[in-house]
Amino acid sequence: MSEPLESDPSLLVVVLDVNASAWSKSPLTVGNALQQMVIFINAYLALKPENNLVVLAANKRECKCLYPADRTTTIERDIRVYEQFRVVDATVLSGVQSMLSGAEAMVGDPNLGIEEGQTLMSRALSRALCHIHRVVEGTKSKVWSRMLVLSAADDAPREYISLMNTIFAAQRMGVLIDICKVFGGDSVFLQQAAEITGGNYLKVDTNGESMLQTLMFTCLADHYTREVLVAPTNETIDFRATCFCHKRVVDIGYVCSVCLSIFCELAPVCSTCQTKFSFRIARSESAQSNGVLKQSPKPAAATVAMSSLTLS
């Protein structure tokens, strides 16, 4: 991959988490966070006229593309704002409003459970990658793309596989993923997303007043600037995985030696690749191969075995 040049335009995909139930617990209100985000988006557009922008919003049920909008809405003209900013701001804000009000109508639904506080992030990220792919293919000159995820909700363990696949796809495409987690605990999956793709993981302190400054400082930089300036570093990253069978986050689990699927308990057949495990060999080998597998989880060629794996 070539070096980024100063004149290369960039493409930013902003993924907004608009999960109403998650935001209701946050000390920073959705409105406030959005306002700061919109200023950040304006700042990004101000950087270079060629800069491209896509804004996606996701919640528990759906993932919508807010900008560029499918239909052209007529927006009240405000002469104080630069035309380009005004169009983006208005479409993003109205889009989020409609998604939030749509979600409120569902609150009475008895089917709502603990998963209501989770957002389908993998769907949003893969959609973002599709947008990026389309732009990169459709542009003659080199476009450097990155994502910024504004996340409020907790991790959804059922999404682990699809999310990891998306992250690795992003890594292959050279897309940086910046994460801005607004409140609550650290997001294990998104932390990994930032780490693997070379982006930044930011945790905004509880009142969220410094969110804009933090965003401006760390996430506004394009690929070229990141070569020049120092990026903040993450000290500890939680690299834990989720098991494929019960979607539990596990410290120690079993790994299929053929397809590397992770399970929290012993199973006779791998649910992913349908491999039948031979337990007689497995028991005797697992003790020996444990240490080896920790470093390089490469399946042993001949033995079809299930080994326990410690994930650091």
Partner 1 sequence: MATQMGSEEEFKSTIAEYLESLPAQFCRRVFSNPAACLAIFRLLSTVGKHLVMSMLYLDSAIKLQDVYQWAKPDHQPLVRSKVHQLRKLQILTEERGNVSLSPVFREQLRNALTGGGDFSSFGIPFTGAVSGRVSKKWLASYANDRWEAILHFMVGHSADAEPPSESVRGILRMSRLMEDSAEGMKITNSGFQFLLQDPSSQVWTVLLQYLRLAEMQEMDVVEVLNFMFQLVSLQLGRPYSTEALTRNQQKMLAELCSFGLLYQDSVGAPQFYPTHLITSLSSGSASHSAPLSTSGSAATGRSAIPAASKGELAKPSDQGFIILETNCRVYAYTQSALQIAILNLFVHLVNRFPNFITGALTRDSVRRALSRGITADQIITFLTTHAHPQMQGRTPVLPITVTDQIRLWEQERNRLRPTAAYFYKDFGQKAEYERMFKYAQDIGVILWASNEKRQLVVTRQGHAKIAELVKSQRAAAAAAAAAAK
> Where does this chain bind partner 1 (CB under 8 A)?
6-7, 39, 42-43, 46-50, 52, 67-68, 77-87, 89, 134-135, 138-140, 212-213, 216-217, 220-222, 224-225, 227-230
Min. distance of Cβ 87 from partner 1 in angstroms?
A: 8
**What's the Cα-to-Cα distance from 200 to each of 43, 160, 196, rounded to whole Å?**
18, 20, 10
DSSP secondary-structure letter at 62?
A: -
In the complex, the smallest distance separating the C-beta of residue 138 from partner 1, rounded to whole angstroms, is 3
Helix (H) or strand (E) holding 20: helix 20-24
Instruction: Give me the long-range contacts of 82-89 (CB less than 8 A, separation at least 24).
Output: 82/42, 84/45, 85/42, 85/45, 85/46, 88/38, 88/41, 88/42, 88/45, 88/53, 88/55, 89/38, 89/41, 89/42
- Nearest CB to partner 1, comparing residues 93 and 106: 93
Min separation Cβ 233 and partner 1, Å: 13
CB 15, CB 53: distance < 8 Å: no
Nearer to partner 1, 42 or 278 (CB): 42
| Shortest distance in whole angstroms from residue 1 CB to partner 1 | 17
CB of 271 to partner 1, least distance (A): 40
H-assigned helices in 146-222: 160-173, 188-197, 211-218
Angle between helices 30-47 and 83-104 (to 10 degrees): 150
Q: Are 198 and 192 in contact (CB under 8 A)?
A: no
Whether 120 contacts 60, CB under 8 Å:
yes
Strands 63-67 and 52-58: antiparallel
Query: Is 116 or 222 the residue whose CB approaches partner 1 more closely?
Result: 222
Q: Which is nearer to partner 1, 88 or 120 (CB)?
A: 88
Least separation, in Å, of the C-beta of 180 and partner 1? 15
- The residue among 54 and 149 lying less far from partner 1, judged by its C-beta, is 54
Peptide bond into 268 cis (omega under 30): no
Residue partners of 201: CB distance under 8 A and separation at least 6: 178, 179, 181, 190, 191, 194, 195, 234, 237
Shortest reach from residue 311's CB to partner 1, in Å: 32
Residue 133 or 247 having the CB closest to partner 1:
133
Nearer to partner 1, 5 or 107 (CB): 5
Give 60 or 226: the residue with its C-beta nearer to partner 1.
226
Q: How far is the CB of 71 from partner 1 (least distance, A)?
A: 12
- Residue 63 has which token pair? 């993932």
- In terms of CB distance, is 110 or 138 closer to partner 1? 138
Residue in 89, 83, 76 with CA at minimum distance from that of residue 49? 83
- 13 token code pair: 């995909």
Shortest gap between Cβ of 78 and partner 1 (angstroms)?
A: 7
